């Protein structure tokens, strides 16, 4: 075998191996999706989607309150977490090249790695015990603590990707620093920031542990910020633990709905915030 043939062979081998790795990576994802769709689709019906859970043991009932709960949570959490995360990210990127900035960045990274159950316990102590009940707002606070470092980090990274020449151009035009940051830098970093935010939403939409400690779950629809509430991940968990077949099927259905919500959010927000001029 000439060395050329050996090299060709190695090339082909490397290609095949990497292709196999990709397959291996996709297979679990693909099979999960297939399972969820296969098992969850039959559970879907108008009734399923619009009625609250029935009594335990009854095959009727649906996940309407869970859907509502998840959507409300996503909304509230974003309301708290996104602006805070955004501002932290902006601060770190534009003004954070000092000791304070480095410390904040460090704590941010630590917070990102916190086990979510610990966050749940913390908020439990802070809000549930203090206010005297499990509540929606506690859930939102817990989730926003999880969301915040992700948004801050991705915002910071996206802003840092904006070349300094863009900032210089704006400053040289006589535009003030804060205006430059808001109208030019953030604008240019838009797609990265949106991606980061969506990632964080997808993450918190599926968090279950903190919800156990904060919103508890309920059979009813949204009953006020200070009251317990249901959410899809909680519902899936509860349903999975019940010994009834109908419950398991409903659980698959709820999981499917959760995945659909996150996907829709993703696609929808990307579509809505597409600049005409992002990238080439």
Partner 1 sequence: MSNTQPTNLKESAEGYKIETENLNAWFGKSHVLKEISLKTKENAITAIIGPSGCGKSTFIRCLNRMHELVPNARVSGKVLLDGKNIYAEGVDPVAVRRKVGMVFQKPNPFPTMSVYDNVASGLKLTGLRDRKKLDVVVKKSLELAFLWDEVKDDLDKSGASLSGGQQQRLCIARTLAVEPEVVLMDEPCSALDPQATAKIEQLMTKLEENYTVVIVTHNMQQAARVSDFTAFMYLGEVVEYGSTRQIFENPKNELTERYITGKFG
* Shortest distance in whole angstroms from residue 274 CB to partner 1: 11
171 binds partner 1 (CB under 8 A): yes
Nearer to partner 1, 18 or 183 (CB): 183
Nearer to partner 1, 50 or 183 (CB): 183
Going from the C-alpha of 192 to that of each of 152, 176, 179, 267, the distances in angstroms are 12, 24, 20, 15
Q: Do 120 and 56 touch, CB atoms closer than 8 A?
A: no
Q: Do 120 and 142 touch, CB atoms closer than 8 A?
A: yes
Q: Do 81 and 200 touch, CB atoms closer than 8 A?
A: yes
* Shortest distance in whole angstroms from residue 277 CB to partner 1: 4
Tokens 């156990």 map to which residue?
A: 212
Cα separation of the two ends of the chain:
46
Site residues (CB under 8 A) for partner 1, limited to 62-121: 97
Among 2, 165, 245, 272, binds partner 1 (CB under 8 A): 165
d(CA 156, CA 90): 6
Among 117, 175, 223, 269, binds partner 1 (CB under 8 A): 175
Site residues (CB under 8 A) for partner 1, limited to 184-213: 184, 187-188, 190
- For residue 8, the tally of other CB atoms under 10 A from its CB is 12
Tokens 């099979």 map to which residue?
A: 31
* Shortest distance in whole angstroms from residue 280 CB to partner 1: 7
* Shortest distance in whole angstroms from residue 278 CB to partner 1: 7
Choose one: 34-42, 45-53, 70-78, 163-171; the region binding partner 1 (CB under 8 A): 163-171
* Shortest distance in whole angstroms from residue 275 CB to partner 1: 5
270 binds partner 1 (CB under 8 A): no
Where would I find the H helices in the chain?
Answer: 3-40, 46-50, 64-95, 99-113, 116-123, 129-131, 136-161, 164-172, 177-179, 186-188, 190-205, 209-214, 232-241, 245-272
Nearer to partner 1, 8 or 176 (CB): 176
d(CA 118, CA 112): 12
* Shortest distance in whole angstroms from residue 157 CB to partner 1: 17
Among 102, 179, 270, 274, binds partner 1 (CB under 8 A): 179
d(CA 80, CA 129): 21
Nearer to partner 1, 169 or 241 (CB): 169
Tokens, residue 142: 């817990």
- For residue 114, the tally of other CB atoms under 10 A from its CB is 13
* Shortest distance in whole angstroms from residue 239 CB to partner 1: 45
Choose one: 11-19, 77-85, 109-117, 183-191; the region binding partner 1 (CB under 8 A): 183-191
Nearer to partner 1, 157 or 240 (CB): 157
* Shortest distance in whole angstroms from residue 194 CB to partner 1: 13
Binding stretches for partner 1 (CB under 8 A): 97, 163, 165-166, 168-176, 179, 183-184, 187-188, 190, 275-278, 280
């Amino acid at each position: 075998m000439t060395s050329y043939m050996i090299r060709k062979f190695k090339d082909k081998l490397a290609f095949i191996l990497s292709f196999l790795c990709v397959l291996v990576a996709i297979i679990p994802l693909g099979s999960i999706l297939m399972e969820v769709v296969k098992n969850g689709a039959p559970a879907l019906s108008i009734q399923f989607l619009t009625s609250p859970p029935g009594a335990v043991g009854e095959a009727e009932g649906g996940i309407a309150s869970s859907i509502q709960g998840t959507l409300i949570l996503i909304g509230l959490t974003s309301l708290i977490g996104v602006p805070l995360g955004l501002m932290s990210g902006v601060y770190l990127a534009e003004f954070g090249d000092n000791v304070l900035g480095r410390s904040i960045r460090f704590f941010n990274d630590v917070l990102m790695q916190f086990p979510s159950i610990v966050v749940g316990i913390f908020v439990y102590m802070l809000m549930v015990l203090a206010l005297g009940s499990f509540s929606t707002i506690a859930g939102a606070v817990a989730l926003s603590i999880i969301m915040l470092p992700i948004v801050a980090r991705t915002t910071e990274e996206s802003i840092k990707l904006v070349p300094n020449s863009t900032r210089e151009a704006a400053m040289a035009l006589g535009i003030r620093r804060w205006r430059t940051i808001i109208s030019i830098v953030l604008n240019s970093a838009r797609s990265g920031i949106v991606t980061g935010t969506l990632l964080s939403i997808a993450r918190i939409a599926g968090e279950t542990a903190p919800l156990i400690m904060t919103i508890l779950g309920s059979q009813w629809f949204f009953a006020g910020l200070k009251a317990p509430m249901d959410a899809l991940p909680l519902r899936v968990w509860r349903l999975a633990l019940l010994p009834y077949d109908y419950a398991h099927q409903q659980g698959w259905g709820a999981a499917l709905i959760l995945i659909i919500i996150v996907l829709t959010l993703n696609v929808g927000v990307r579509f809505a915030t597409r600049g005409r001029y992002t990238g080439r």
